[in-house]
Structure 1
């Protein structure tokens, strides 16, 4: 064996999501219960995401466990101000590629790659493990050894194998032929693991295995192949039983597949993918039939990843768990604003000029805003910069710029806007100027200004999604 990273790029593997326990149809939502038992699974109504963070210039690099929640699995709220909720203390003292499994008893186990940062020469036969009853406290931290091979253990995921009455842990590693395969170990307690076996080896490099178990009697394994996401399937979970079948999807090179079952539809599935470090842009696809193996790209207006998130795992949770997580960790004290007609772009300041730029960028804090009561009218809003808190977005000669609040009534008026229903989409938002009430914030050639709005294009330019 050797420790050579994946040959496609210098950052080998990533993680994924939804390989869970025996599935049960849900009468209330039509979704699949993947995990703990019918009673608990039947109340799943939201999602939790786990991830680590990086950004293009690595200003956001943090290799602890991060969490976000979502009622629909598409729009996400980072918890704990997007700071980690747990951090490894052994091995490399950092993690990548985290994954959450709801176990058969209804509690959770968290797994992750043992690697802090981007030292691709570091080799660990171990993975990080935590136990949790509620994802608000993390106990029993340990590392679990998977093998004695001279190769790293990447992107662990776990699932319940009902036929064996035990859990399987799949992960990426380099095999004796020198290419990446997906391995499996079996464990009953996530403390000790059985001998490693090859789970999936089609004869070419594959990494980042992600399972959906027991979907109409079929098990689906998605993985990265040649910078694309591809699926294989099997009617059993036996090692070596999966065969490739799906149409490949990609967005300029994609890894880290994450399959997510819609809780609102009996047939809808989402497939998330991640561009590799450090940009970490998530893309999503949708299908109404896993069996068909074909996917349609989602409009980026429909989903928003947590800021700086990388290599996510997604797990269904109950409404009580969702509310308890928000109560424990809180929502961010800041917002980001996404453009309606350029949904890959976010409102930011650059050289103190207001504009919209394509995510991801650094300093990422340029896109974080506190929407505070309007300086001229508290029923309006003003946009206070997070990284320059003495400065606010204001218009000057109708162009938006980030200026220090000088305390004058003129500044207060220029920096105050009324939040209204979105001019292009009422579920989004538009912002009308306080002292030029016929004008709204809009982008023109990606630069922000206030203008009168009348055409369809102008309405789209003036519409934004306020999220995180």
Structure 2
């Protein structure tokens, strides 16, 4: 009888133990016409290929998918946005899913339709603001002759913009998110603590094109005290995951055609851990979220069909 009770107790403890989430990394493959690719990791360093595509791009004139950014909503719905046009578009793509296999109808969100001379809408990035219970979407756009510039051309002088939404059906008016006085793209908001945020920034000026960090007390800024770059020349597409007391920042080291990562506890000191990571061949600019074991099992089953 005691043995049976002990077994029942172990079963109860096991079933009640918190289930560990798994990291999921979104990606695409050049020339970006196929759609969404995925990889997963249990430790945040070593990534297993889930192949793809899981969503073929239909939004936008060019029918491409670059820079897929995904966030896990509080109802376990995954919301994703992506770049739909290299140049010429005034918006980005959006779709949602519960299992990352079956997706909602794709939408095109024309966030810059009020700017007739806008050149592009690049790398939209979703951040869930738990303080205001809303989603913030940021992206880079160029509006020629709007801002001071360096030696880059007028059609390559980017600033960051944003909208907010609670339901991905209605959106706030578009506002300027970041103008640090130079061309910027590929920004990522990170919540370090209450009223404590970091912004990962790609300085897109010539000859820089590297990645830095700014700091603020709100997810919509202002972000100041921008650091010196922690990455090398020709790097972009950062994304961040939290591991215990540290953060890992992955980025596309496109100048050398590989991926790199740094580890930091304060976004001021960075340790290169590129030798410790592994990613699927061809992996490109995406973002990291978490999934349950159930969702992963479904993705592995789907992968085996491909």
- TM-score of the two chains, using structure 1 as the length reference: 0.54
SS at match of 2:219: coil
Residues 147 and 193 of structure 1, relative CA distance in 2, 3 Å threshold: farther
Residues 33-44 of structure 1: pairs in structure 2 closer than 5 A: 43-44=19-20
Do 1:158 and 1:169's aligned partners in 2 also have CA atoms closer than 8 Å? yes
The match for 2:53 is 84
1:316 paired to 2:290: yes
| Residues 144-168 of structure 1: per-residue CA shift (max 9 Å, x gap) | 1112222311111112234444221
Residues 241-252 of structure 1: pairs in structure 2 closer than 5 A: 241-252=222-233
Residues 199 and 135 of structure 1, relative CA distance in 2, 3 Å threshold: same
Do 2:123 and 2:186's aligned partners in 1 also have CA atoms closer than 8 Å? yes
Residues 89 and 50 of structure 1, relative CA distance in 2, 3 Å threshold: same
Do 1:127 and 1:153's aligned partners in 2 also have CA atoms closer than 8 Å? yes
The match for 1:126 is 91
Residues 445-456 of structure 1: pairs in structure 2 closer than 5 A: none
Specify which of 48, 71, 74 is matched with residue 24 of structure 2: 48
> 1:217 offset after TM fit, Å?
3.9
Q: Please, what is the CA RMSD of the aligned residues?
A: 2.3
Distance 2:233 2:214 in 1: 22
> 1:200 offset after TM fit, Å?
1.2
Do 1:78 and 1:331's aligned partners in 2 also have CA atoms closer than 8 Å? no
1:171 paired to 2:144: no
> 1:76 offset after TM fit, Å?
1.3
> 1:129 offset after TM fit, Å?
0.8
| Residues 368-423 of structure 1: per-residue CA shift (max 9 Å, x gap) | xxxxxxxxxxxxxxxxxxxxxxxxxxxxxxxxxxxxxxxxxxxxxxxxxxxxxxxx
Specify which of 158, 176, 180 is matched with residue 198 of structure 1: 176
> 1:43 offset after TM fit, Å?
4.1
Distance 2:164 2:257 in 1: 31
Specify which of 213, 224, 238 is matched with residue 231 of structure 1: 213
Specify which of 94, 97, 106 is matched with residue 141 of structure 1: 106
Specify which of 59, 62, 67 is matched with residue 38 of structure 2: 67
Distance 2:41 2:269 in 1: 25
Distance 2:261 2:248 in 1: 7
Distance 2:58 2:284 in 1: 21
- Structure 1 unmatched ranges of 5 or more: 1-41, 333-468
The match for 1:286 is 263
The match for 1:114 is 84
The match for 2:15 is none
Do 2:33 and 2:57's aligned partners in 1 also have CA atoms closer than 8 Å? no
> 1:319 offset after TM fit, Å?
2.8
Residues 243 and 44 of structure 1, relative CA distance in 2, 3 Å threshold: farther
Residues 323 and 215 of structure 1, relative CA distance in 2, 3 Å threshold: farther
Residues 251 and 132 of structure 1, relative CA distance in 2, 3 Å threshold: same
The match for 1:159 is 127
Distance 2:274 2:253 in 1: 17
Q: Which has the higher strand share?
A: 1
Residues 311 and 331 of structure 1, relative CA distance in 2, 3 Å threshold: farther
Q: Work out the number of aligned pairs and report it.
A: 272
> 1:246 offset after TM fit, Å?
3.1
Residues 346-357 of structure 1: pairs in structure 2 closer than 5 A: none
| Residues 44-97 of structure 1: per-residue CA shift (max 9 Å, x gap) | 53111111113xxx6xx6441111111112211111xx3311111232111110
Distance 2:305 2:236 in 1: 29
Distance 2:33 2:99 in 1: 23
Residues 363-382 of structure 1: pairs in structure 2 closer than 5 A: none
Do 2:259 and 2:274's aligned partners in 1 also have CA atoms closer than 8 Å? no
Residues 166 and 325 of structure 1, relative CA distance in 2, 3 Å threshold: same
Residues 63 and 205 of structure 1, relative CA distance in 2, 3 Å threshold: farther
